[in-house]
C-alpha cells in the first residue's frame, strides 16, 4: 500500500500538455470538451501553462482563452511528438481526452517519447491505465484483491473462442479491448453467431483481442464515479442506476442518479468496493466503476444471495469495468451533482489533495466530501434514427446514440417527462404512439417493440395503456418494477386528466408529475395556451431550486437551477441587465457541439458587455451547462413552456416581460425554432427579428425577397401535393432537389431524377405528417459555397468565404470545406460578397447569418451565383471560420445584439483580408456503429463530427484534414473501385494516378471492363454476393483492400447498389469515398507525401508566413 | 394517492402542507434534516432520533421497502417522518412492506408531499426547531399546543431507549469480551463486534461501573444515543470509572459523555450533523474519511481537559470528531463508524479499538 501512496511531494509541473478527444463520434462527444476545458481552467488557476492539442475546431477547449497554447492538429503520435519537441512540456495529462487521449498517452509512453523529452505522465500512473484497460490484467487484479468478476476468457482467435464457448456456455458477451463506446462488441446467444461476432470484435480491437464473458443480461447495471488523490483519500461523487438492465451499453441506457432501487446495504457495498478497487489500482483523479448487481428475484429468479460483512443477506454483484479517466458518465455525474470532476481531477494530477481543494460550488467547504442530492436526475440518450430510418434500432453493447439529455426534478416522474421533452423529437411526448401500434390488441408484449431499442419507453407506455400489468412488462424487459410502476403512475395521471374535470389540485399534481401544458391540453381537451392561462390564474407556476452539492445543508453560491412544482422558489430575478441564451439541446447529427461553442461564447460576450447571461440547456455533456460558464444556468428542456416560465421567473415586472431578451441565434435549429412563439407572445428576441427569421425560412417570402433584390436562386417552388411537384419539376427539369421547408441538418433532403421518385418522396413526406410545404428546386451542378457573416443591419462583416471540395449535392455538413475559396475567381468572390452584404442589410440581420450559394460556370460566359438558402443564425462553420480568420464571430454578433454596431467594435463592412493560411474542414462519421445505415453521401447529413486541417499550403492542410478524419489513404495496398456509369469518364485520370502509386486495383464487373479498356489491369471481383468468392465484401473483410471508391448515380433505388460494399468498408473502418471529388483530393494528398506539413500553434499560422 | 391533508408547523410559525401517511396522529418533537440518500429504515429505527421529527432531504423515500435486516433497534424511534414523496410500490426481493405500513404498525405519523428542501433551508438558517406534525390541528392550534409541551433539550431520552435488562447479542461468543453500555445503540455496532470475534454483552445505560467491571470485560463500548449529554450527570461517574479501568471506545453520545466525564463540555450545534457524507480528517494518518453522522451536540474543543487530545476533525466546520486519551487505552469518535446507514470507510475504528483491547495500551 505504502508505495502506491504518492504524497504530494513531486514537484508541480510548469507546462502541461492536454490531449483532446478529436472529432465528435458516437461514444466520444462533447463531454470531453467540457472535461478538457475545465481541466485547462483548473490548471491555469494553479499557475500551470497548458498546451492543448485537438483536431476538432468546434470546441471551447481549442480557444486560447481556455488553454494558453493551442494546436489544432491531427491526433497522431507523430504530430504530438512534434508538439512535445517544440513546446517542451514537463507534464502530460492523459485522462481528459476520452479513450482517444488515453490511448495516445499510453502509446507516447510506450514508444519512449515521454522519456525522451522528459515529460511526466500526471495523475493516474501508466501502469494503472494499462491494468484498467487490459482485460486480462484487470481481471487478474480484481481476483487478487477479492472483487468478483464475471467468469471470462480473453481470446485472440476464433478457434480459442469456440473452446471458451464450450467451457463457459452461452450466452456470452463479446468485448473488444481498447475501443470506444463498445465498438465491435455484442452478444453471442446462439452457436451460429459466434464466428461473426468474434471476428468483428477482433477487427475492432487495435490489439486484436476480445473478451468473452458470462452474460449478465437482465442484471441491474450500476455505476459509481469515484475520486482518489495522491495521498489515498477517496470519495464517491455519485452513483447511477441504469433503467435499462445489463445488456444495453450504458451510453445507450436511460440512467438515473442517484440509484433508486438499491438498499443502503447494497449502495454501501458497491461504494466500498469502488474505493477498494481504485486504491488497489492507484488511480489519481476521477474514475468510473461499473457493476452488475443481482436483479429483483421476482424478475429473475434463481440467483443466489450472498452474506455481507456482518452476516446479513445481500445481493450478488460483479465488477464489469473501470475507466481510469473522466468519461461520459463523469460529465453526467458532474452535472447531476454540481461536483466538477474534471476540475478536481486536474488539480489532483498536479499534486493537490482533496482536502486542499475548495468546493467551487459552496466556496465554504472542501472538495473532500460526497455530494448529497435532493432531487432525481434522469438521462435519456438521443439516437440518430430519426435521420437513419433504415438503421438497426436494436440496442446492445454497441453504443448508437449521438448525444443525451438530462433533466432534474424532485420526482422521478417529472424528471423523466422533462427529459423526454428535452429530446426535442417533435411531438413525441410520452403520449406518443407509433401509428402501427394502434391495432395491436393481442400478444401486446410480443407485438410492441419492448426489446432494447430507441422506442422502448413509448412502447412501455403503450403496453400499459393497452392493459399490460407493470409486472408483466418487468418480466419481459427485465427493467426493475420500480421504474415500470413509476411509468404507470404517469399513465394513471394521463387517465385522470382524460377523465376528470381539470381542477386546481389535479393540475398541481399533473405538473408535479412533469406534464407539460401541451400534454395537459391534449388530455383535457384545451389549447396549451388556455392551460397556461388557467394555471397562472390558479397560481400554479414552477419554482426553481438550486443544484448545490449538499442538499441545502450549506449556503451555496452556484447559480445552477432546475424547475419544479414546490413551495419555495430559490431563484429571485437576477438584478440588473440580463439576457437569455437558448442552447441547442442534445448532440445529434446536424446539430452538434458547434452550437454549444456558440452558446458559450454568447454567454461570455454578454458578460463582457455588463449583461448577465442566463443560459438554458438540457445537455449534460457540454461546456454551456458548466455552472460557471454563464451568470445563471437553468437546466431545462428547450421548449416554449420552459423558456416562457424562465422569462416569467426572471421578470421583476410581470406586466412587462419585454425587458428580458432571448438570443435564439446560437442554439441551432432548436433555438431559432422558438423565435416565432416568442414573438407571438410579445417577448423580446435579441438581434434579427422574428420577421427576418421568418422571411429567410419561409420559401415563398424568401423568393419574393430575393427577387426584389435581383438576386437569383435556383428555380423551384414550394408545393404540398405530388401532382404540383411534378408540374414544378416539368417546368425546371430534372434532377431536382426536394426537401421540407424548415429543415434541420438536411433532414429528408434528396436529389430525385424522375416523376416516380418525386411523387414517392412527396407522398412519403405527407404521410409522415409533415404539415409544412415541400420545396422542389432545380439541382444545379456547380461549386457549393458557404459564407458566414455578421451584420448589424447596416454593415455586414464577412470573415471569409468557404468552398466545398465535393460538388453540390453533398450536404454542407458532410462536405470537405476549404477556407479561403481558393478555387474562386475575384469576380465570383465579389458577387458573393455583394449578395451577402445586400441580403444582410435588406433582411436587417442583427447578428449572424449563413449563406449557401452555388457558383455555376458556363463556358464562355461569366459565372452565375445562385443563393440556395440563408440561415439567420449561427451555422456549423462558425467555430471553423472564427479560428481561421481570428474574427470572434459569436462575440461580435452578441455585442451587435446588445446594440453595439460593427463600427463601434472596430469592424468594417465587407470581406476581411485573406489570411495567409489554408484551413480545411473534413467530416467524420460514426458509421461503423450504426448497422444498416448507408454511408453514401448525399443531401442528407450523416457525419457526427468534424476536424480541421490548417497549414500554410493547401497540400499541408489537406493532408492533415484527411489524416485527422481517417480519410487518408495508406501508402500502399489494395483499393476497391466501383463507379457509376455517369462518373466513369471522369474517374479514369483519378484511377490511373492510384495505379501509378503502386496500388493493387480491385474493381466490380463494369468498372473492371472500363479500366481494362484504359490499359489498367484490375482484379475483377463480383458484386453478386451469392455467386462465388471472393466477392466485393470478401475482399474488404479479408483486408485485401484498404480503401473503397464507390459512386452511384443518385436516386433511392440505385442506392441499393453497392450498399453492402459501403457497409463492409464502414465496419472494417477503411476510407470509403462516395464522391469522386473526395477521392481526387485523397490521391492528391498521397502524391504530395504524407508528412509534408507543419505542426504549429494556431496563432503562429495566423501571424506568420510560410517558412 | 394519499387523501388526508396534514401539516408540519414549526415553532417559528412556518407551516408546510402535505398529506398524512403512516399513523394519523399528532406528534411533536425537534425537527431535524438528514442528507443521506439511502437508509431510511435504518434512520427510522436509530435510537439517536428519539424525540425528533426527521426530514430526509432525499425526496423519494421507500423505494426498496422495509426488510428484515435494515432495523437498528427494537422499534421505530423517530417521532415523525416528513418526506417529499412516499413510494407506495417498493421494489426489492427482500421487501416485506412499505414505509407507510411500517409507520402505521408502530403508530408513528408521517407527512408526505411537502417541500422538504424548503424545510431544510429554514432549519439551516434558523437552526433546529420544535415542530408539530398534525392532520387534526390548524397552524395556530398546533403552535399553541407546542408551547404547552416540554422542549427536546430538556428531556432525558436515554432512559427511554436503553435496554431494560442486560442481554447477550445474537449468540456472539467470540474470545474478546466487550460490554456495550446502551445509551441507544444501533444493532450494527453489535453485529460488527460479533463479526470481529467478540462476545457482546449489552447493559442498560444506568448500570453501575461496579456491575460493568464485574462482568470482567476485555473492553467497553459506550454507545451512541439521543439527546443532550449535559442532562446525563448520573451516568458520567460510571463512564469515568469504567474508562479508567478498561480499554474503551466511545461513539457519538459515548464520545460526548467521555468529554464530560473527564472535565470537558459539549454545546448544541445550530442544525446538527445528520447524513452520510461528512468528511472527517484522522489527525494521525492525515487521511480524510467520509462518515455517517447523527448528532446535534458537539464536544467543545476549547474546554478539553489536557488528558484528552483531538484525534479527528470535521472538515466542513472543524468541529471535534474524535478524541484519544493521552495515557489510557481510551478512544472516542463523534461519528458513526458502524455505518448502517452510511459509508463503511471507518471500520478501522473497530479494528483499532480491538487492537487496543488486545494490547491494553492507549492509542499512539
Grid look-up 479513450 returns: A99
Q: Does A568 touch chain B (CB under 8 A)?
A: yes
Phi-psi region of A733 (alpha: psi -120 to 50; beta: other; left: phi over 0): left
Closest CA to A297 of B95, B39, B41: B95
Q: DSSP letter at A686?
A: -
Q: For residue A742, what pLDDT band results from cuts at 50, 70 and 90? A: low
The pLDDT tens digits of the residues spanning A565-589 come to 999 999 999 999 999 999 999 999 9
Q: Are residues B232 and B322 in the same domain?
A: yes
User: Each residue of A362-414: pLDDT tens digit?
Assistant: 888 899 999 999 999 999 999 999 888 888 999 988 899 999 999 999 999 99
Residue A748 has pLDDT above 70, yes or no: no
pLDDT the model gives residue A1055: 61
CB contact under 8 A, B195 and A264: no
Q: pLDDT category, A4, cuts 50, 70, 90?
A: very low
Say yes or no: B99 and B142 in one domain: yes
Flag whether B364 is in a domain.
no
| Domain boundaries defined on chain A | 2-122, 151-214, 220-371, 543-681, 687-714+780-924, 715-773, 969-1088
Specify the pLDDT at position B335: 98
Does B119 fall in a domain? Answer: yes
Using an 8 Å CB-CB cutoff, list chain B residues near A547.
Answer: none
CATH topology match: A687-714+780-924 vs A715-773: no
Does B22 share its domain with B128?
yes
Distance CA B220, CA A965 (A): 69
pLDDT value of residue A441: 92
CA distances for B187 relative to A39, A267, A390, B269, angstroms: 45, 19, 59, 26
Q: Name the residue in chain A with its Cα closest to that of B86.
A: A411
Positive/negative CA dihedral, B315, B321, B324, B330: negative
Name the pLDDT band for A739 (thresholds 50, 70, 90): confident
Q: Are residues B200 and B288 in the same domain?
A: yes
* Confidence check: pLDDT of B49 > 60: yes
Model confidence over A786-802: pLDDT tens digits?
Answer: 999 999 999 999 999 99
User: What's the CATH code of the domain at B317?
Assistant: 3.40.50.880
Q: Which residue has the cell 480568420?
A: A885
Q: Which of B116, B315, B340 sits opposite A355 (nearest CB)?
A: B315
A366 contacts B315? CB cut-off 8 A: yes
Average pLDDT over residues A413-438: 92
Which CATH number describes the domain made up of A969-1088?
3.40.50.1380
Q: Residues B128, B173: one domain?
A: no
Contact B57 A551 (CB under 8 A): yes
Mean pLDDT of chain B: 96
Cβ-Cβ contacts under 8 Å, B292 against chain A: none
- B181 plus B304 within the same structural domain: yes
Q: Which residues of A touch B91 (CB under 8 A)?
A: 261, 296, 480-482, 485
Task: Please compute the mean of the pLDDT values over residues A897-915 and round it to a whole number.
Answer: 96
Whether residue A740 is predicted with pLDDT greater than 80 in this model: the reply is no
pLDDT at position B353 is 98
CATH of A220-371 among 1.10.3210.10, 1.20.1070.10, 3.30.470.20, 3.40.50.970: 3.30.470.20
User: Is residue A720's pLDDT more than 90?
Assistant: no
Provide the domain limits for residue B240.
Answer: 158-358
Q: Which residue, B154, B174, B200, sits at the end of a domain?
A: B154
Architecture of domain A543-681: 3-Layer(aba) Sandwich (3.40)
pTM: 0.95
Interface membership of A868 toward B (CB under 8 Å): no
Give me the residue label for grid cell 455496532: B189
Nearest CB partner across the interface for B57, out of A365, A374, A480: A374
Considering only residues A848 and A1022, tell me which one the structure prediction assigns the higher pLDDT.
A848
Q: Give the gap in angstroms from C-alpha B315 to the nearest C-alpha of chain A.
A: 7
What are the pLDDT digits (tens) for A217-255?
899 999 999 999 999 999 999 999 999 999 899 999 999
Residue A765's pLDDT is 78
Answer whether residue B277 shows pLDDT above 80: yes
Contact criterion met (CB < 8 Å) for B59 and A372: no
Same domain (yes/no): B140, B226: no
- Its CATH architecture, for the domain A715-773, is 2-Layer Sandwich (3.30)
Boundary-marking domain end, from B154, B179, B201: B154
Q: Give the pLDDT of residue A656.
A: 85
Q: Which of A240, A264, A279, A409 to mutate to test the interface with B (most CBs of B within 10 A)?
A: A264
Question: Residue range A324-351: average pLDDT?
Answer: 96
Residues 221-240 of chain A with CB under 8 A from chain B are 231-236
Q: Give the pLDDT confidence score for residue A745 in this predicted structure.
A: 44
| Residues of chain A found within 8 Å of residue B55, distances taken between Cβ atoms | none
Whether A3 has a pLDDT exceeding 80, the answer reads: no
Contacts B271 to A, Cβ<8 Å? 553
Nearest to B280 by CA among B223, B349, B184: B349
pLDDT for res A1027 = 78
The predicted structure's pLDDT at residue A1052: 53
Distance from CA of B86 to the nearest CA of A (A): 10
B210 domain-assigned: yes
Q: Which residues pair with A966 in a beta bridge?
A: none
Q: Which residues of B are catalytic?
A: 252, 336, 338
Chain A residue with minimal CA distance to B272? A553
Q: What is the reported pLDDT for A760?
A: 86
Q: Say whether A552 and B85 touch across the interface (CB within 8 A).
A: no
Return the residue of A nearest to B121 by Cα.
A552
CA angle B39, B43, B46 (to 5 degrees): 135
The closest CB to that of B344, out of A263, A268, A554, belongs to A268
SS3 of A886-909: the string is CCCHHHHHHHHHCCCCCCCCCCCC
Considering CB atoms only, which of B59, B315, B340 is closest to A410? B59
Q: What is the Cα gyration radius of chain B?
A: 20
**A271 touches B at CB < 8 Å:** yes
Residue at B214 is within a domain: yes
Check CB contact under 8 Å for B290 and A235: yes
Neighbours of A338 (CB within 10 A): 24
**Tens-digit pLDDT profile for residues A638-692:** 999 999 999 999 998 888 888 899 999 999 999 999 999 999 999 999 999 999 9
Topology (CATH) of A151-214: Dna Ligase; domain 1 (3.30.1490)
CB under 8 A, 24+ apart: contacts of A116-121 = A117/A84, A117/A85, A117/A88, A118/A90, A119/A17, A119/A84, A119/A89, A119/A90, A119/A91, A119/A92, A120/A10, A120/A13, A120/A90, A120/A91, A120/A92, A121/A91, A121/A92, A121/A94
- For chain A, what percent of residues have pLDDT higher than 70? 96
- Report chain B residues whose CB lies below 8 A from the CB of A375: 59
In chain A, residues 346-365 whose CB comes closer than 8 Å to chain B: 354-355, 365
The distance from CA A710 to its chain's CA centroid, rounded to whole angstroms, is 40
Of B154, B186, B204, which one is at a domain's C-terminal end? Answer: B154
Question: Are B191 and B263 members of one domain?
Answer: yes
User: How far A335 CA lies from chain B's nearest CA (Å)?
Assistant: 17
Residue with cell 437482465: A218
Q: Which residue of B has its CA nearest to A479?
A: B91
Residue A568 is nearest to which of B36, B118, B347, comparing CB atoms? B118
pLDDT of A29-64, one tens digit each? 999 999 999 999 999 999 999 999 999 999 999 998
Which has the minimum average pLDDT: A592-596, A739-743, A945-949?
A739-743
Question: What pLDDT is attached to residue A1025?
Answer: 81
Report for A1077-1091, B208-222, B348-362: range of highest mean pLDDT: B208-222
Report the chain A residue with the minimal C-alpha distance to residue B318. Answer: A365
In total, how many domains does chain B have?
A: 2
**Topology (CATH) of A2-122:** Rossmann fold (3.40.50)
Q: Residue A1055 has what DSSP assignment?
A: G
Spell out a b/e string for A31-68, using b for 16 or more CB atoms within 10 Å of the CB, else e.
Answer: bbbbbbbbbbbbbbebebbbbbbbbbbbbbbbbeebbb
CATH, domain range A687-714+780-924: 3.30.470.20
> What mean pLDDT, rounded, does chain A reach?
92
Model ipTM? 0.98
Amino acid at each position: 500500500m505504502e508505495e502506491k501512496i504518492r504524497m504530494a511531494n513531486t514537484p508541480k509541473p510548469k507546462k502541461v500538455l492536454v490531449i483532446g478527444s478529436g472529432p465528435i463520434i458516437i461514444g466520444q462527444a462533447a463531454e470531453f470538451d467540457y472535461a478538457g476545458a475545465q481541466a485547462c481552467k483548473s490548471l491555469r488557476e494553479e499557475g500551470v501553462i497548458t498546451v492543448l492539442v485537438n483536431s476538432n475546431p468546434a470546441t471551447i477547449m481549442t480557444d486560447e482563452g481556455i488553454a494558453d497554447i493551442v494546436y489544432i492538429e491531427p491526433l497522431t503520435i507523430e504530430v504530438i511528438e512534434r508538439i512535445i519537441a517544440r513546446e517542451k512540456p514537463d507534464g502530460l495529462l492523459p485522462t481528459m481526452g476520452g479513450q482517444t487521449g488515453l490511448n495516445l498517452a499510453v502509446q507516447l509512453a510506450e514508444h519512449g517519447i515521454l522519456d525522451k523529452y522528459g515529460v511526466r505522465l500526471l495523475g493516474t500512473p501508466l501502469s494503472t491505465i494499462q491494468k484498467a484497460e487490459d482485460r486480462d490484467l484487470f481481471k487478474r487484479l480484481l481476483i487478487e484483491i477479492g472483487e468478483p468478476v464475471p467468469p471470462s476468457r480473453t481470446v485472440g482467435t476464433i478457434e480459442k473462442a469456440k473452446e471458451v464457448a464450450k467451457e463457459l456456455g452461452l450466452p456470452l458477451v463479446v468485448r473488444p479491448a481498447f475501443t470506444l463506446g463498445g465498438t465491435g462488441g455484442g452478444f453471442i446467444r446462439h452457436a451460429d453467431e459466434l464466428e461473426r461476432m468474434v471476428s468483428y470484435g477482433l477487427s475492432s480491437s487495435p490489439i486484436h483481442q476480445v473478451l468473452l464473458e458470462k452474460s449478465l443480461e437482465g442484471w441491474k447495471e450500476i455505476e459509481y464515479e469515484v475520486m482518489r488523490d495522491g495521498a489515498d483519500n477517496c470519495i464517491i461523487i455519485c452513483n447511477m442506476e441504469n433503467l435499462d438492465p445489463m445488456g444495453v451499453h450504458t451510453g445507450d441506457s436511460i440512467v438515473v442518479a442517484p440509484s433508486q432501487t438499491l438498499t443502503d446495504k447494497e449502495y454501501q457495498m458497491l461504494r466500498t468496493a469502488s474505493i477498494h478497487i481504485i486504491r488497489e489500482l492507484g488511480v489519481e483523479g476521477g474514475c468510473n466503476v461499473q457493476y452488475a448487481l443481482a436483479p429483483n428475484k421476482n424478475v429473475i429468479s434463481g440467483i443466489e444471495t450472498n452474506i455481507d460483512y456482518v452476516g446479513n443477506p445481500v445481493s450478488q454483484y460483479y465488477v464489469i469495468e473501470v475507466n481510469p479517466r473522466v468519461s461520459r458518465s463523469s460529465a453526467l455525474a458532474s452535472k447531476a451533482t454540481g461536483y466538477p470532476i474534471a476540475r478536481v481531477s486536474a488539480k489532483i494530477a498536479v499534486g493537490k489533495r482533496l482536502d486542499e481543494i475548495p468546493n467551487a460550488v459552496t466556496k465554504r467547504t472542501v472538495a473532500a466530501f460526497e455530494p448529497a442530492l435532493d432531487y432525481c436526475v434522469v438521462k435519456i440518450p438521443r439516437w440518430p434514427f430519426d435521420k437513419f430510418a433504415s438503421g438497426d434500432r436494436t440496442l446492445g453493447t454497441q453504443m448508437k446514440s449521438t448525444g443525451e439529455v438530462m433533466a432534474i426534478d424532485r420526482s422521478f416522474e417529472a424528471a423523466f417527462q422533462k427529459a423526454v421533452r428535452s429530446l426535442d423529437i417533435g411531438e413525441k411526448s410520452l403520449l406518443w404512439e407509433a401509428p402501427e401500434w394502434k391495432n395491436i390488441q393481442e400478444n401486446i408484449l410480443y407485438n410492441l417493440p419492448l426489446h432494447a431499442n430507441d422506442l422502448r419507453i413509448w412502447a412501455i407506455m403503450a403496453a400499459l395503456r393497452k392493459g399490460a400489468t407493470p409486472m408483466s412488462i418487468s418480466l419481459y424487459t427485465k427493467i426493475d418494477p420500480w421504474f415500470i410502476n413509476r411509468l404507470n403512475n404517469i399513465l394513471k395521471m394521463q387517465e385522470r386528466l382524460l377523465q376528470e374535470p381539470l381542477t386546481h389540485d389535479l393540475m398541481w399534481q399533473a405538473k408535479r408529475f412533469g406534464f407539460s401544458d401541451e400534454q395537459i391540453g391534449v388530455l383535457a381537451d384545451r389549447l396549451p395556451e388556455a392551460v397556461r392561462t388557467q394555471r397562472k390564474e390558479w397560481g400554479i407556476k414552477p419554482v426553481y431550486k438550486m443544484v448545490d452539492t449538499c442538499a441545502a445543508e450549506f449556503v451555496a453560491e452556484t447559480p445552477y437551477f432546475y424547475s419544479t412544482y414546490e413551495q419555495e422558489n430559490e431563484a429571485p430575478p437576477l438584478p440588473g441587465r440580463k439576457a437569455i441564451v437558448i442552447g441547442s439541446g442534445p448532440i445529434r447529427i446536424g446539430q452538434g457541439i458547434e452550437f454549444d461553442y456558440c452558446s458559450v461564447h454568447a454567454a461570455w460576450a454578454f458578460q463582457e458587455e455588463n449583461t448577465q447571461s442566463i443560459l438554458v440547456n438540457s445537455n449534460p455533456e457540454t461546456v454551456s451547462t458548466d455552472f460557471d460558464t454563464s451568470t445563471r444556468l437553468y437546466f431545462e428542456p428547450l421548449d416554449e413552456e420552459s423558456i416562457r416560465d424562465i422569462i416569467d421567473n426572471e421578470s421583476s415586472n410581470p406586466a412587462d416581460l419585454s425587458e428580458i431578451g432571448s438570443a435564439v441565434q446560437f442554439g441551432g435549429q432548436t433555438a431559432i425554432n422558438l423565435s416565432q412563439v416568442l414573438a407571438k407572445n410579445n417577448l423580446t428576441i435579441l438581434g434579427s427579428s422574428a420577421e427576418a427569421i421568418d422571411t429567410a425560412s419561409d420559401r415563398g417570402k424568401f423568393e419574393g425577397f430575393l427577387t426584389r433584390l435581383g438576386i437569383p436562386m435556383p428555380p423551384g417552388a414550394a408545393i404540398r401535393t405530388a401532382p404540383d411537384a411534378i408540374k414544378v419539376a416539368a417546368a425546371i427539369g430534372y434532377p431536382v432537389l426536394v426537401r421540407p421547408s424548415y429543415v434541420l441538418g438536411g433532414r429528408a433532403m434528396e436529389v430525385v431524377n424522375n416523376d416516380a421518385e418525386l411523387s414517392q418522396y412527396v407522398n412519403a413526406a405527407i404521410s409522415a405528417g409533415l404539415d409544412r410545404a415541400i420545396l422542389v428546386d432545380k439541382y444545379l451542378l456547380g461549386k457549393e459555397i458557404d459564407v458566414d457573416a455578421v451584420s448589424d443591419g447596416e454593415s455586414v462583416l464577412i470573415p471569409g468565404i468557404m468552398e466545398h471540395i465535393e460538388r453540390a449535392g453533398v450536404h454542407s455538413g458532410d462536405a470537405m470545406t476549404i477556407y479561403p475559396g481558393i478555387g474562386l475567381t475575384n469576380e465570383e468572390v465579389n458577387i458573393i460578397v455583394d449578395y451577402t452584404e445586400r441580403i444582410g442589410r435588406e433582411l436587417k440581420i442583427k447578428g449572424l447569418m449563413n449563406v449557401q450559394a452555388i457558383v455555376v460556370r458556363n463556358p464562355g460566359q461569366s459565372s452565375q451565383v445562385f443563393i440556395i438558402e440563408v440561415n439567420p443564425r449561427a451555422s456549423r462553420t462558425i467555430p471553423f471560420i472564427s479560428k481561421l480568420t481570428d474574427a470572434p464571430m459569436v462575440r461580435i454578433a452578441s455585442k451587435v445584439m446588445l446594440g453595439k454596431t460593427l463600427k463601434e467594435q472596430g469592424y468594417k463592412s465587407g470581406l476581411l483580408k485573406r489570411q495567409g493560411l489554408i484551413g480545411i474542414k473534413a467530416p467524420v462519421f460514426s458509421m461503423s456503429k450504426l448497422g444498416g445505415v448507408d454511408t453514401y453521401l448525399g443531401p442528407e447529413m450523416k457525419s457526427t463530427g468534424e476536424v480541421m486541417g490548417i497549414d500554410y499550403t493547401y497540400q499541408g492542410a489537406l493532408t492533415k484534414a484527411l489524416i485527422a478524419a481517417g480519410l487518408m489513404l495508406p501508402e500502399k495496398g489494395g483499393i476497391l473501385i466501383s463507379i457509376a456509369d455517369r462518373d466513369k469518364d471522369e474517374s479514369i485520370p483519378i484511377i490511373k494516378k492510384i495505379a501509378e502509386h503502386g496500388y493493387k486495383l480491385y474493381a466490380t464487373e463494369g468498372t473492371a471492363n472500363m479500366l481494362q479498356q484504359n490499359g489498367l489491369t484490375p482484379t475483377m471481383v463480383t458484386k453478386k454476393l451469392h455467386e462465388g468468392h471472393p466477392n466485393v465484401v470478401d475482399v474488404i473483410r479479408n483486408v485485401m483492400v484498404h480503401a473503397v471508391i464507390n459512386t452511384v448515380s443518385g436516386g433511392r433505388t440505385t442506392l441499393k447498389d453497392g450498399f453492402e460494399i459501403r457497409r463492409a468498408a464502414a465496419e472494417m473502418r477503411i476510407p470509403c469515398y462516395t464522391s469522386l471529388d473526395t477521392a481526387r483530393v485523397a490521391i492528391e494528398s498521397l502524391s504530395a507525401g504524407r508528412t509534408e506539413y507543419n505542426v504549429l500553434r494556431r496563432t503562429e499560422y495566423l501571424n506568420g508566413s510560410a517558412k | 394517492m394519499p387523501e388526508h391533508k396534514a401539516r408540519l408547523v414549526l415553532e417559528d410559525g412556518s407551516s408546510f402542507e402535505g398529506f398524512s401517511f403512516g399513523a394519523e396522529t399528532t406528534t411533536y418533537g425537534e425537527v431535524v434534516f438528514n442528507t443521506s440518500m439511502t437508509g431510511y429504515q435504518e434512520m427510522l429505527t436509530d435510537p439517536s432520533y428519539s424525540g425528533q421529527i426527521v426530514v430526509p432531504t432525499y425526496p423519494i423515500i421507500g423505494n426498496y421497502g422495509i426488510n428484515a435486516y435494515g432495523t437498528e433497534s427494537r422499534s421505530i424511534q423517530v417521532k415523525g417522518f416528513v418526506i417529499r414523496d412516499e413510494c407506495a410500490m417498493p421494489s426489492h426481493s427482500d421487501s416485506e412492506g412499505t414505509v407507510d405500513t411500517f409507520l402505521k404498525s408502530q403508530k408513528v405519523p408521517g407527512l408526505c408531499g411537502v417541500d422538504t428542501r424548503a424545510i431544510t433551508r429554514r432549519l439551516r438558517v434558523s437552526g433546529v426547531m420544535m415542530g408539530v406534525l398534525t392532520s387534526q390541528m390548524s397552524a395556530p392550534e398546533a403552535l399553541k399546543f407546542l408551547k404547552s409541551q416540554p422542549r427536546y433539550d430538556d428531556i432525558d431520552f436515554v432512559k427511554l431507549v436503553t435496554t431494560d435488562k442486560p442481554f447477550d447479542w445474537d449468540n456472539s461468543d467470540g474470545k474478546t469480551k466487550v460490554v456495550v453500555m446502551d445509551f441507544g445503540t444501533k444493532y450494527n455496532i453489535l453485529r460488527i463486534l460479533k463479526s470481529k470475534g467478540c462476545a457482546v454483552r449489552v447493559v442498560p445505560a444506568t448500570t453501575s461501573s461496579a456491575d460493568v467491571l464485574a462482568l470482567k470485560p476485555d473492553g467497553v463500548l459506550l454507545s451512541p444515543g439521543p439527546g443532550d449529554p449535559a442532562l446525563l450527570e448520573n451516568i458520567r461517574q460510571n463512564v469515568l470509572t469504567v474508562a479508567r479501568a478498561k480499554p474503551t471506545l466511545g461513539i457519538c453520545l459515548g464520545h460526548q459523555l467521555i468529554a464530560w466525564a473527564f472535565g470537558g463540555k459539549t454545546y448544541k450545534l445550530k442544525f446538527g450533523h445528520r447524513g452520510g457524507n461528512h468528511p472527517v480528517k484522522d489527525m494521525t494518518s492525515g487521511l480524510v474519511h467520509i462518515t455517517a453522522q447523527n448528532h446535534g451536540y458537539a464536544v467543545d474543543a476549547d474546554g478539553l481537559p489536557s488528558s484528552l487530545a483531538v484525534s479527528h476533525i470535521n472538515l466542513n466546520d472543524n468541529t471535534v470528531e474524535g478524541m484519544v486519551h493521552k495515557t489510557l487505552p481510551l478512544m472516542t469518535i463523534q461519528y458513526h463508524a458502524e455505518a448502517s446507514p452510511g459509508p463503511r470507510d471507518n471500520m478501522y475504528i473497530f479494528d483499532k479499538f480491538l487492537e487496543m483491547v488486545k494490547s491494553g495500551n492507549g492509542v499512539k
